[in-house]
Amino acid sequence: MRLNIVILDRETLGRDLDIEPLRKLGDVMEYANTLPSETRDRIKDAHIVISNKVVLDKDTMQHSKNLRLICIAATGMNNVDLEGAKELGIEVKNVTNYSTNSVVQHTFAMLFYLLEHLKYYDNVVSSQLWTISGLFTDLSRPFFEISGKKWGIIGLGTIGLEVAKVATSFGAEVSYFSTSGLNQNSTYTKKELEELLKSSDIISIHAPLNENTLNLINDTNLPLLKNKAILLNLGRGGIINETDLAYELNRREIYAGLDVLSTEPIELDNPLMSIEHKDRLLITPHIAWTSVEARERLLSTIVEHIKEFKKEVQW
């Protein structure tokens, strides 16, 4: 008997990604995306479900009598009722460490864009202002070097550690804040949050969203940031209070790069959409994890999970 494999949000894998390895394992039904009202019907005959962000609760799963395996096309597992799946005898597998290189690279891409005012200078050339000036260079937006600056990392996990290594290679002095309080890394200086925010020229967030990190950065500690400091969030939306950040960006010269937001896609009434000083903010649509290589690793791991499953149940 052939496996019925259902992909609930194919668009999150990217149309450039070849899913032929999945087709070799069973009959694949793919949906670009799936609304909550559509989930139950779409998985009712599935043996295996692949989902990135589509929610799978116990009520939905228990109507799928053949469902034996859920492959989460991500690291985070909060979109699946894990206890419910366990009660129903459904195995749940996620994918870890596939996007580290991609996220680290995007961290620095966002940093350089803000640090060197690249949007401004691109416009200076395209608008012909440089040509009109008659000067061989343009010093109207000074930028500093990473070397010798202090870089604070919030969340020194796998990704945070790699960012620390690259930052150090640029000559930055790295410190970190442990959101759990449990991380004890002897290579870098551990600081309390307020001390890290006060002392750092660049701050990057690489932490999960949980009760310790929800609204971690807010109106009580954003004023602690140095003038011209750069704050980057590549962890999870909700760690930074976006209303408070918008206020601070309007109030004084700090910079922020966000790849994650509390609600995605961003809502039109999000205060970050209407800040006065737009050059102080860069938002990318949750793409840090999406390099071609990262998505290939993601799919490869999902394929391996399914192969292991087939061996276990002798399908």
What CA–CA distance (Å, rounded) separates 262 from 267?
Answer: 10
Q: Of the listed 192, 194, 264, 308, which one is catalytic?
A: 264
With a CB cutoff of 8 Å and minimum separation 6, the contacts of 200 are: 150, 151, 152, 175, 225, 226, 229
Q: Of the listed 106, 286, 295, 297, which one is catalytic?
A: 286
- Tokens representing 107 are 């961290």
Is 264 a residue of the active site? yes
| Torsion over CA: 100, 102, 105, 109 (sign) | negative
Q: What is the pLDDT of residues 25-40, one digit of tens each?
A: 999 999 999 999 999 9
**pLDDT of the residue at 312:** 86
**pLDDT of the residue at 24:** 96
**pLDDT of the residue at 315:** 66
What CA–CA distance (Å, rounded) separates 217 from 219?
Answer: 7
**pLDDT of the residue at 314:** 73
pTM for this prediction: 0.94
Residues in the chain predicted with pLDDT less than 70, given as ranges, are: 315
**pLDDT of the residue at 236:** 96
Is 286 a residue of the active site? yes
**pLDDT of the residue at 2:** 85
Closest CA to 155 of 229, 235, 240: 235
The H or E element spanning position 50 is: strand 48-51
**pLDDT of the residue at 313:** 79
**pLDDT of the residue at 101:** 98
For the CA atoms of the chain, what is the radius of gyration? 22
